[in-house]
Amino acid sequence: MRRIQSLMTFAAVVLVLGACGEAAEPVATVTFEPNPMVLPYPGYLAAHLQWEVTAPLGPSESNPLVFVHILDEEGNVVRTFDHPLPFDWQPGTSHDYEVILYQSALAPPLDNGEYRLSLGLYDPSGQRWALCCLGDEIDDFEYQAATVSVNGKADEVPMFYFSPSWLPLEAGTDVQVLGRRWLTDEGSIRIAEIPSQGSVWMRLRLPNPATEVEELALMEGEAEPLVRVGGTCSAEEITVRGLGFHEIKVPVDVNEEGEIPTECEILLQPNFYILEVDTLDRRSLALEILSWSGASGL
């Protein structure tokens, strides 16, 4: 009897060890650049991802997502740059795209120091897939893709000042958007102490009105919600159209004399507003991310 129990125990151990030793087949080879990287406050940079799709994903409840996390020394997630996978998954294909990594001026800065940047592929149900050939596996199918150095060199970034038509800063909902500011009408952002030619990266949210308690009002003669972005930083004018999220880069160019201006202004002109029916309060767009890159950054 004891011999039978010993054989059963041995078999169970072999099965467990066999299961643990089975490595999941990677579904893609991923490269991430730059590595290492420097991310000052409030700066941004473009990271480049290349995917070589090598295997099918199998059954999944929804389209896959990519998580990109900045981790502190204890492994806590302090910033995220998660995004939908921007291509159709077909084995044998290659895909390249950029993702913007940033410290927003609307959020507190990260402490100076060294961080890890991790990457993985998942779906909202929690399913993850194995990837090759990034760095060490930090957690289940979560891989170190780069190291991030954060410094506080204030002379490398400008200062931002908001016109009175901006409402006070409010907290965001997660570590991807830590803060936002609403605009009541048209407004401006003054950029001062500009250190170099560069660009300002912004994410704007043109909101849907809440059912029954809010109304969307368009200016006379306008057919759809939009925001015109201009000002003195560049001769270029940008127009974003439609409700939802919009990411834009506003160049900060040399002036007519060929010199880098010491300051300039970004003007945002929405052609709509959201009216709260009970209070008659009004707002237009929300600024959710505001970051700077010098000429050498992108």
Q: What is the pLDDT of residues 209-268, one digit of tens each?
A: 887 899 999 998 899 999 999 999 998 999 999 999 999 999 998 887 888 889 999 999
Q: Report yes or no: 283 and 269 within 8 Å, Cβ to Cβ.
A: no
Answer whether the bond into residue 34 is a cis peptide, omega within 30°: yes
Q: How confident is the model at residue 75 (pLDDT cuts 50, 70, 90)?
A: very high
Q: What are the structural domains of the chain?
A: 24-150 (2.60.40.770), 158-294 (2.60.120)
Show the tokens assigned to 213. 């308690």
Q: How many CB atoms lie within 10 A of CB 216?
A: 14
pLDDT (0 to 100) of residue 7: 37
Query: Please, what's the b/e burial string for 38-68 (b: 16 or more CB within 10 A of its CB; e: otherwise)?
Result: ebbbbbbbbbebebbbeeebeeeeeebebbb
Between 288 and 17, residue with greater pLDDT: 288
Mean pLDDT, the chain, integer: 88
> Average of pLDDT values for 68-87?
96
Q: Report yes or no: 157 and 195 within 8 Å, Cβ to Cβ.
A: yes
C-alpha span between 258 and 112 (Å, rounded) = 35
Is residue 55's pLDDT more than 50?
yes
Is residue 206's pLDDT more than 80?
yes
Is residue 16's pLDDT more than 80?
no
> Average of pLDDT values for 33-62?
92
pLDDT (0 to 100) of residue 25: 92
Nearest to residue 243, comparing CAs of 217, 218, 269, 225?
225
Is residue 205's pLDDT more than 70?
yes
> Average of pLDDT values for 7-35?
63
pLDDT (0 to 100) of residue 19: 36
Per residue in 110-169, pLDDT tens? 999 999 999 999 998 889 999 999 999 999 999 999 999 998 666 678 999 999 999 999
Is residue 20's pLDDT more than 80?
no
Query: Cα separations (Å) of 125 from 83, 94, 156, 282?
Result: 15, 26, 42, 37
Between 257 and 198, residue with greater pLDDT: 198
Phi, psi of 17 (to 5 degrees): -65, -35
Nearest to residue 146, comparing CAs of 30, 41, 28, 37?
37
Nearest to residue 202, comparing CAs of 93, 105, 96, 88?
105
pLDDT (0 to 100) of residue 157: 86
C-alpha span between 104 and 218 (Å, rounded) = 30
